[in-house]
């Protein structure tokens, strides 16, 4: 539910004609959301067959045009092209005279702020950067997901209210991001969202290799609880062998990964090191256990197969004790289950 205070009516943008340049997964969804708020999509550009299908599904009866023609017909133009294509697109539109004075140009890149639109600004356009912090599928469900979605907003100060009002009209929550913090903001979202997909996909592959027939069903409740705990408690939610300092278990993990999924070893070691650092800083990982753990991770990074246990002996499975069962919290541990 959107709890952001609604802007005063005088600050809300008038009903606008809307154009989309780049009918990828984002643009048609945003235009459809603006349509629900009373604005009127009038033109969309798309090159690939997939883009044209998305436009037809989300913006039926809206004609396909070239980018320059979209700007001719629309008062509010959504530039929803890949990040690397945005600078050239803006420069080209400005240099060919396609940009009209007073026209709202909105890009949805997380990486860039409003300055990337400076060529259009010099041509009289009003520049806005509105980045939805959401993953898009290209299906109508995307419009529903915008409800409560945060948007990273960057714009000239005099356009701030208009930018935030547009976000609220789409059902989103505006979050102001300073121009020079946009790359950091985008890196944070990529780290949390894009890399999460990689981690989950790798985990499902490994579970299938281990014989689990429904890895999605197994992971769903576990990952849901982990995400909820992390959002609520941050580092205090850390659990598992790294946070406990269970070097033997981590060594066994690395051995198994090296045999069955060598491509996953580097990622496992990197994330385990980051987890160990955070657990140490938060007081969850005891310093006396960290040294052995970090040694295991160093060996894992270089490809060593063995690591000495607390008694100085080397076990082929990298476990702490001769029977491989005794962890620092006792033979059964204290926080049980998959972690």
Q: How far is CA 212 from CA 21, 91, 125, 262, in A?
A: 45, 52, 56, 19
Contacts of 260 by beta carbon, 8 Å cutoff, 6+ apart: 206, 209
pLDDT tens for residues 135-174?
999 889 999 999 999 999 999 999 999 999 999 999 999 9
DSSP output for 104-150: EEEE--SS--SGGGHHHHHTT-EEEEEEE-S---SSTHHHHHTTT-E
Query: Which tokens in the block code for residue 45?
Result: 């550009």
Q: How far is CA 106 from CA 90, 175, 300, in A?
A: 11, 16, 47
State the pLDDT at residue 55. Answer: 92
State the pLDDT at residue 17. Answer: 97
| Whole-angstrom distance, CA of residue 5 vs CA of residue 25 | 29
State the pLDDT at residue 14. Answer: 74
pLDDT tens for residues 300-315?
888 754 444 444 344 4
| Whole-angstrom distance, CA of residue 299 vs CA of residue 301 | 5
3-state secondary structure of 80: coil
| Whole-angstrom distance, CA of residue 164 vs CA of residue 22 | 23
| Whole-angstrom distance, CA of residue 106 vs CA of residue 112 | 11
Please check whether residue 33 is in contact with residue 143, taking contact to mean a CB–CB distance below 8 angstroms. yes
Antiparallel, parallel or unpaired: β 126-132 and 150-154: antiparallel
State the pLDDT at residue 11. Answer: 52
pLDDT tens for residues 110-133?
999 999 999 999 999 999 999 999
Count Cα atoms within 13 angstroms, Cβ side, for 78: 33
State the pLDDT at residue 3. Answer: 52
Please check whether residue 184 is in contact with residue 160, taking contact to mean a CB–CB distance below 8 angstroms. no
Low-confidence ranges of the chain (pLDDT < 70): 1-13, 304-339
- Give the global pTM: 0.79
| Whole-angstrom distance, CA of residue 270 vs CA of residue 252 | 16
């Amino acid at each position: 539910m959107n709890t952001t205070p609604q802007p005063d009516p005088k600050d809300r943008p008038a009903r606008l004609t809307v154009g989309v340049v780049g009918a990828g997964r984002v643009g048609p969804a945003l235009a459809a959301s603006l349509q629900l708020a009373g604005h009127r999509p009038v033109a969309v550009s798309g090159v690939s067959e997939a883009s044209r299908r998305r436009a037809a599904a989300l913006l039926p009866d809206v004609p396909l045009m070239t980018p320059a023609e979209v700007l001719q017909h629309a008062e509010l133009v959504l530039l929803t092209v890949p990040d690397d294509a945005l600078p050239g697109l803006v420069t080209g539109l400005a240099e060919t005279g396609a940009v009209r004075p007073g026209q709202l140009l909105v890009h949805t890149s997380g990486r860039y702020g409003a300055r990337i639109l400076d060529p259009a600004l010099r041509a009289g356009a009003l520049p806005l950067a509105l980045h939805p912090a959401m993953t898009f599928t290209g299906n109508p469900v995307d419009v529903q997901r915008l409800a409560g979605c945060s948007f990273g907003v960057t714009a000239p100060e005099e356009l701030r209210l208009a930018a935030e009002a547009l976000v609220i009209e789409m059902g989103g929550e505006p979050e102001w991001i300073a121009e020079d913090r946009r790359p950091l903001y985008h890196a944070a979202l990529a780290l949390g969202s894009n890399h999460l997909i990689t981690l989950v996909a790798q985990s499902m592959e490994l579970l299938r290799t281990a014989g689990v027939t429904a890895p999605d069903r197994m992971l769903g409740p576990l990952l849901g609880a982990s995400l909820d705990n992390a959002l609520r408690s941050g580092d205090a939610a850390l659990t598992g062998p790294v946070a406990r300092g269970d070097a033997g278990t981590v060594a066994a993990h690395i051995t198994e990964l090296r045999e069955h999924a060598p491509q996953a070893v580097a990622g496992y070691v990197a994330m385990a090191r980051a987890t160990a650092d955070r657990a140490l800083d938060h007081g969850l990982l005891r310093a006396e256990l960290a040294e052995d753990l970090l040694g295991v991770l160093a060996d894992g990074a270089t490809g060593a197969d063995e690591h000495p246990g607390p008694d100085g002996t080397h076990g082929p499975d990298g476990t702490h004790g001769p029977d491989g069962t005794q962890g620092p919290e006792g033979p059964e541990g204290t926080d049980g289950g998959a972690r």
